[in-house]
Each structure stands twice: as structure tokens, then as C-alpha cells.
């Protein structure tokens, strides 16, 4: 196993071999706005260290620029009359796929599973990006080797054959029945009359859609025409006291306002009308002082929408003057509020994101977990920003990155919660602009994947992107 510290990634583990060929590739993102000092070697060979006075072997690293190819292919193969390698039984065959490189060498890109005790295996269908298979070059050679698995790692070579993506794309046909040739073993005479074969059973191409594809096809000018965002803030503490996280200082934003503004200024660009319903929870409302965990910040329960982030901020400040902050911290009412809207539009035309900013410990943990499990099948995500010095262990539990959240024996269909503690983004030097940019980036980091997971499981494709804008008096150019 190799740990690549620059991208915090691990290779797979290959047992019982001193000459491993790792399949997993590391893709480094390119950022236009950042200076990235990278060194690329087409083939880098370095000795391994770690144990003084002992030779630990050599590592070989190869790099190649990836083509902009978003196709993936699902393939399935079977074998016929493969070589018998095991003394007490039949073979345990598996396939190894290699992509040819620009310098004529080959790099491993996929291994099938091992099919035990058979000379006529049918391997499971597998999906692989075309970039990994041939880097988008349809005529590049693809080499496939056939092995017999051995427990000690000394797998027996059966044979190999070559093809290309273009040949494979013909699908199941006479062109994709391959005779396995021998390069490393002695040819036995009886195989001259009974050639070994590997056959392509299926070949299905899929275009990988991205979050950007949905944005491009979302509406006018390529902007998502969706009401995505509900804001919910927990009200506790006296805003007139400097110790309160809601303190209305004339000199700087409080923690709630800073988090709201940092995230809101990013997300408002993804909403066409920029009208946001803003809710509060944990307060006594005028005139009778009833406790509410689901009230409109602007005081209008029939129309809780605010005009842009500035409108949300204004409604927040006005509510601090009119409501009495009060506990406990109940999340489930606001989650269920948004879930009711999300449940009415499951066709992919709208997606909802609930932003909860809170400084308290959850009082209705069991109900909140049940609400999240119920909402995990709906087109919605939940972002929780924890402000203040409180312990947020419960929030971490709701963020199902490591352990999928469950309630009453039911697991969430997908991870829809992202939690970040605000205190981790406070810049001690006073550079709030940079720290709030980091906060917004991490808060929104999981939204695209959560959005895509819903769309993919429902088979919802993005709409075609609208044609590019043509100024008046400039007719479209057509090619003859």
C-alpha cells in the first residue's frame, strides 16, 4: 500500500507480492485562481526508504495529462476453455486490463474479480471511465491478460490479447471474440485444436453528467430556476448583551450574521429570483409570548420570503427586536417544514437546501434523526453551521460521512447533512474575508454530490443547455 500525502489518498492493498502494480489512480485538481507548484515526470523511479541499512525496493510513478472525456463504459466478459492451472481443481481465472501509454509502455487500469474453480468463467459487469481505459483515444491499444489466481500471490499467467476501445464499441459480435495467445508459457499441443477464448458479452456507454450540466440546463441564462434555500436560525440569549452570539454590535457582524452572509452570498447566485424563505426557531412570539420552533423572520407566516441575502439579514435584525429568545433547540419542525415542500416536487424540477445556524445542543435528537431519514429520499439537503463554544458531538452524528444515520432500524437512503463548526474558521489575525470564504467553501462542498446522488438514483437527466446568446442584429452563423 502507498500513502500519497499531497492528496491524502491511499492505494489499494495487494497481498503477497514484492512487485505490486497498483490500479488506483490519483487525479489532482487544477485551480486557475491558485498557484500550484507541481513537478510531473513521465516516468519517475525512486528507491524506497524507511528501514536503515535495508533495501526496501523501488517505486515507479507515471503521469499523463488526462483528456476531457466524460464517457464511462459498462462491460462484461466471459471465458471459454481456459487453461487448467491447478493440480487438484480447475483454474480460478481473472482479467487484468492495461492502458497503453504515449511512450509504448502499459499501465494497469482494472482487475476483474476472481471466478473460482472453472475453465468457463463469466465475470461480473464492471464500469470504468474511458479516460482510465484509453484516455479518450479510441484507437489506443488495450491489453488484457488472463491469470489463474493463487493464494500466495504468485498468480499463473494463462495468456493475453489486445483490442481497442473502437473495436470494443462494436459490442457483442464476431469481432469481439478474442483468442488468448501465449507469451510466457510453453504452448501445449492439444490447445492447437481447442483455442482459448475470451468473449465480450456486453458494452454499454454512459455519459457522466455533472452538477454544471444541470445548471446549464436549469433555466434562463443557464441559472437554476429553483427555490433552493431555506434559512433557519436558533434564537437563544439576550441580543443586548455583548456575551450573546446574537449581539447587535455597531462595529461588526455577530457570528450568526457572519455565517449567514458568507454562505448566502454564494448561494444566491444559484437562485433565479433570489427570494429566500427565512425561518427562525426557539423564541417567544408577540403578542401572546407563545413558543415557536418554526416562525417567519419577516413576521409574515403567509409569505416568509426575503429579497436576497440583504433581505434575510434585515429580517434577522428586525426579529431580534421583536421576539424573545427562548429554548429548547428542536430541529425536527424546520426539517419537516422543508420536507413538506420537497415531497411535492420529486421530478427533479426543484431541489431544496435547508441552512440551519445554531449555537445549541439538539433537544429532540430522536425526532431529528427520524426527520432526516425520512427526508433522505427527497430532493433536499441540510447544512448545519454550529456557532459558539458548545459541544457539537450530536451534529457530527447527523453528518453521515462516516456512519450512515439511522432511526428505528431504518437507514438514510443517502447522506444529506453537512455540518461545520464556525469556530474552526475564525481568523485570529482578523482577516474575516478569507476565513468566511473558507467557511462558505466547506459548507457548500457536499451539495453538488448530494444533488447528483438524488438525480442519478431517480434517473433524472439534465435538460439540454439553451443555445448561446446572440446579440440583436447578429444572426447565427451556420456552417455549409
| pLDDT-derived band at 40, boundaries 50, 70, 90 | very low
* Per-residue pLDDT tens over the stretch 114-154: 999 888 999 999 999 999 999 889 999 999 999 999 888 88
User: Whole-angstrom Cα distance, residue 302 to residue 293?
Assistant: 16
Assess whether pLDDT exceeds 80 at residue 87: no
User: Whole-angstrom Cα distance, residue 341 to residue 375?
Assistant: 11
- Any idea what DSSP says for residue 397? H
- Sorted by sequence, the CB contacts under 8 Å of residue 1 that are 6+ apart come out as 10, 11, 12, 13, 14
User: Whole-angstrom Cα distance, residue 368 to residue 361?
Assistant: 12
pLDDT higher for 243 or 84?
243
pLDDT, residue 114, reads 94
Query: What count of Cα atoms within 13 Å lies in the side-chain half-sphere of residue 137?
Result: 14
In 200-349, alpha helices (H)? 211-216, 255-267, 308-322, 332-343
Residue 245: asked if its preceding bond is cis (omega within 30°), the reply is no
Strand, coil or helix: 152: coil
pLDDT higher for 300 or 393?
300
Neighbours of 28 (CB within 10 A): 13
pLDDT, residue 36, reads 52
Strand, coil or helix: 284: strand
Strand, coil or helix: 365: helix
Look at strands 410-411 and 406-407 and give their pairing.
Answer: antiparallel
Assess whether pLDDT exceeds 80 at residue 228: no
pLDDT, residue 205, reads 93
Residue 287: asked if its preceding bond is cis (omega within 30°), the reply is yes
pLDDT, residue 370, reads 97
Assess whether pLDDT exceeds 60 at residue 13: yes
Look at strands 141-148 and 156-164 and give their pairing.
Answer: antiparallel
* Per-residue pLDDT tens over the stretch 432-442: 777 777 887 88
| pLDDT-derived band at 33, boundaries 50, 70, 90 | very low
What pTM, to 2 d.p., does this model score?
0.63
Distances (CA, A) of 27 to 63, 64, 69, 365, 443: 10, 10, 14, 39, 23
pLDDT higher for 57 or 312?
312
User: Whole-angstrom Cα distance, residue 154 to residue 454?
Assistant: 43
pLDDT, residue 188, reads 45
Q: At what angle do helices 332-343 and 365-375 cross, to 10 degrees?
A: 20
The mean pLDDT value for 4-15 works out to 62
User: Whole-angstrom Cα distance, residue 425 to residue 356?
Assistant: 17
Share of the chain above pLDDT 90, in %: 29
- Sorted by sequence, the CB contacts under 8 Å of residue 292 that are 6+ apart come out as 280, 281, 283, 284, 285
When mean pLDDT is compared over 82-96, 245-259, 300-314, 415-429, the highest value belongs to 300-314
Query: What count of Cα atoms within 13 Å lies in the side-chain half-sphere of residue 406?
Result: 7
In DSSP notation, 198-218 reads EEEEEEEEEEPP-HHHHHHTS
Contact 256, 325 (CB under 8 A): no
Assess whether pLDDT exceeds 50 at residue 388: yes
- How many helices (H) and strands (E) in the chain? 10, 24
Contact 159, 180 (CB under 8 A): yes
What's the mean per-residue pLDDT of the chain? 80
Contact 23, 33 (CB under 8 A): no
The mean pLDDT value for 102-109 works out to 90
Amino acid at each position: 500500500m502507498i500513502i500519497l500525502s499531497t492528496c491524502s489518498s491511499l492505494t489499494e492493498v495487494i497481498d503477497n507480492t514484492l512487485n505490486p502494480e497498483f490500479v488506483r489512480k490519483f487525479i489532482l485538481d487544477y485551480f486557475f485562481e491558485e498557484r500550484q507548484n507541481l513537478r510531473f515526470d513521465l516516468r519517475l523511479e525512486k528507491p524506497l526508504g524507511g528501514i536503515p541499512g535495508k533495501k526496501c525496493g523501488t517505486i515507479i510513478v507515471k503521469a499523463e495529462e488526462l483528456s476531457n472525456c466524460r464517457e464511462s463504459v459498462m462491460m462484461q466478459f466471459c471465458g471459454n476453455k481456459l487453461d487448467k492451472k491447478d493440480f487438484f481443481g480447475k483454474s480460478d481465472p481473472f482479467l487484468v486490463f492495461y492502458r497503453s501509454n504515449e511512450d509504448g509502455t502499459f499501465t494497469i487500469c482494472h482487475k476483474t474479480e476472481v471466478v473460482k474453480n472453472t475453465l468457463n468463467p463469466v465475470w461480473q459487469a464492471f464500469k470504468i471511465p474511458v479516460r482510465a481505459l484509453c484516455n479518450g483515444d479510441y484507437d489506443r491499444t488495450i491489453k488484457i491478460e488472463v491469470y489463474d489466481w493463487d493464494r500466495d500471490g504468485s498468480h499463473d499467467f494463462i495468456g493475453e490479447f489486445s483490442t481497442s476501445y473502437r473495436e470494443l464499441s462494436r459490442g457483442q459480435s464476431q469481432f469481439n471474440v478474442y483468442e488468448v495467445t501465449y507469451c510466457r508459457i510453453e504452448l501445449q499441443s492439444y490447445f492447437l485444436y481447442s483455442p482459448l477464448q475470451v468473449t465480450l458479452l456486453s458494452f454499454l456507454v454512459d455519459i457522466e453528467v455533472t452538477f454544471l450540466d444541470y445548471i446549464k440546463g436549469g433555466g434562463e441564462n443557464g441559472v437554476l430556476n429553483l427555490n433552493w434555500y431555506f434559512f433557519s436560525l436558533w434564537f437563544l440569549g439576550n441580543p443586548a448583551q455583548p456575551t450573546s452570539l446574537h449581539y447587535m454590535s455597531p462595529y461588526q457582524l455577530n457570528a450568526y450574521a457572519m455565517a449567514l452572509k458568507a454562505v448566502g452570498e454564494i448561494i444566491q447566485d444559484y437562485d433565479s429570483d433570489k427570494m429566500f424563505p427565512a425561518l427562525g426557531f426557539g423564541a417567544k412570539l408577540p403578542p401572546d409570548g407563545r413558543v415557536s420552533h418554526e416562525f417567519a423572520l419577516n413576521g409574515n407566516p403567509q409569505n416568509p420570503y426575503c429579497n436576497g441575502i440583504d433581505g434575510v439579514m434585515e429580517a434577522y435584525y428586525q426579529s431580534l427586536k421583536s421576539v424573545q429568545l427562548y429554548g429548547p433547540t428542536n430541529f425536527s419542525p424546520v426539517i419537516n417544514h422543508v420536507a413538506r415542500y420537497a415531497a411535492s416536487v420529486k421530478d427533479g424540477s426543484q431541489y431544496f437546501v435547508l441552512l440551519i445556524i445554531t449555537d445549541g445542543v439538539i433537544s429532540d435528537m430522536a425526532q431529528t434523526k427520524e426527520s432526516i431519514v425520512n427526508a433522505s429520499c427527497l430532493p433536499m439537503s441540510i447544512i448545519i453551521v454550529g456557532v459558539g463554544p458548545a459541544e457539537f458531538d450530536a451534529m457530527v452524528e447527523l453528518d453521515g460521512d462516516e456512519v450512515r444515520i439511522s432511526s428505528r432500524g431504518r437507514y438514510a437512503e443517502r447522506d444529506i447533512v453537512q455540518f461545520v463548526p464556525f469556530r474552526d474558521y475564525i481568523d485570529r489575525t482578523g482577516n474575516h474575508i478569507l476565513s468566511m470564504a473558507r467557511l462558505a467553501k466547506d459548507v457548500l462542498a457536499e451539495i453538488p454530490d448530494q444533488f447528483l446522488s438524488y438525480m442519478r438514483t431517480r434517473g433524472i437527466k439534465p435538460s439540454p443547455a439553451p443555445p448561446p446568446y446572440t446579440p440583436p442584429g447578429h444572426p447565427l452563423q451556420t456552417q455549409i
